[in-house]
Amino acid sequence: SFDWLLVLFLVNVNYCIPFEMDELPSYQMANAVLDGIRKREEKELQVFDSSVDLEEAAHCRCECCPSRESQEEGDYCCSSLFSLDLVKKVIPFRDGLITEMTSFGSHSCICKDPLFSDYLLTESAVRSAAVTYSMLSGEEITDKNKSYRYGAYRLIIATTIGHLGKGARIRLPSCFVQAVRQRWPSANYTGFTE
């Protein structure tokens, strides 16, 4: 499940399948295609400059991230956003956070700032984000908690960046994702990575 690491505004990522689909692809061929998709996804979701060590970015200094073992390779601590070099696309996210947080720098984790505790992580805010998305997209809400989680992911982007662009996605900090998943859990979650 990708729901916790992606923000999909209008859910439309079309991957080209480079072979005719009139017969089943061989295992190797299917694997090669999957590999290509994974690489593209990795690049698309890259947060830090290539010179940055991913383990350094994942190292938690905010005290709110889940354990490293339960995360994926590219996951990162919120503190890394403010101390390491970012790819261009992520800079507005960092700057937006700095601008919108009430007391930037006075908490170890962004999630402890009133922007999060009094707004982004509240039921009324994510509910409003969820129903607005449902109205605009025509997607009916069938799983309330899931719609709230997506609502929270969209809301943090809307609040910090504004318009992200059709189909554009951004990887969110692990502590925030964990906070959202703890607040509005899925019946199917057994750990951070599932």
Query: Which of 6, 60, 120, 152 is in the footprint of Zn ion by CB under 5 A?
Result: 60
| CA Rg value for the chain | 18
* Subset of 69-108 contacting Zn ion (CB under 5 A): 77-78
Q: Give which of Zn ion, ligand NAG, none residue 129 binds (C-beta under 5 to 8 Å, depending on kind).
A: none
Residues engaged in binding ligand NAG (CB under 6 A): 143, 145, 183-188
As measured in angstroms, the least distance from the Cβ of 123 to ligand NAG is 7
Whole-angstrom CA distances from 105 to 25, 80, 120 are: 53, 13, 18
Return the number of the residue (79 or 147) whose C-beta is nearest ligand NAG.
Answer: 147
Rounded-to-integer distance, Cα 23 and Cα 79, Å: 49
Output 122 or 132, the one with its CB closest to Zn ion: 122
Both tokens assigned to 64: 């709110």
For ligand NAG, the closer CB: 9 or 184: 184
Please say whether the beta carbons of 73 and 41 come within 8 A: no
Residue 24 site contact among Zn ion, ligand NAG, none (CB < 5 to 8 Å, cut-off depends on kind): none
CA-based end-to-end distance of the chain: 6
Which of Zn ion, ligand NAG, none does residue 143 bind to, with CB < 5 to 8 Å depending on kind?
ligand NAG
How far apart, in whole angstroms, are the C-alpha atoms of residue 13 and residue 129? 22
Q: Which is nearer to ligand NAG, 48 or 184 (CB)?
A: 184
Rounded to whole angstroms, how far apart are CA atoms 164 and 180? 20
